[in-house]
Structure 1
Amino acid sequence: MMVNTRRFGLIEINEDQVITFIGPVLGFETLKKYAFVSTGEDRQPFEFLQAIEDENLTFIVTDPFVFFKDYEFQLDKHWTEALDVHHEEDIQVMVIVTVRSPEDITCNLRAPIVINRTKRVAAQVILEQGSYPTKQPLLGEKKGADADVNPVSK
Structure 2
Amino acid sequence: MGVADLLRSAHASAAMAFEERGVTLSCEVADDCVVMADPDRLAEILANLLDNALRHTPAGGRVTLTAGCSSDTARLSITDTGEGITAEHLPRVFERFYRIDGGRSRQQGGSGIGLAIARALVEAHDGCIRAQSAGPGTGSTFTVDLPLARRTDGGEAR
- Would the TM-score normalized by the shorter structure come out above 0.5? no
Which has the larger strand fraction? 1
Which has the larger helix fraction? 2
Taking structure 2 as the reference length, what is the TM-score of the superposition? 0.28
Structure with bigger gyration radius: 1
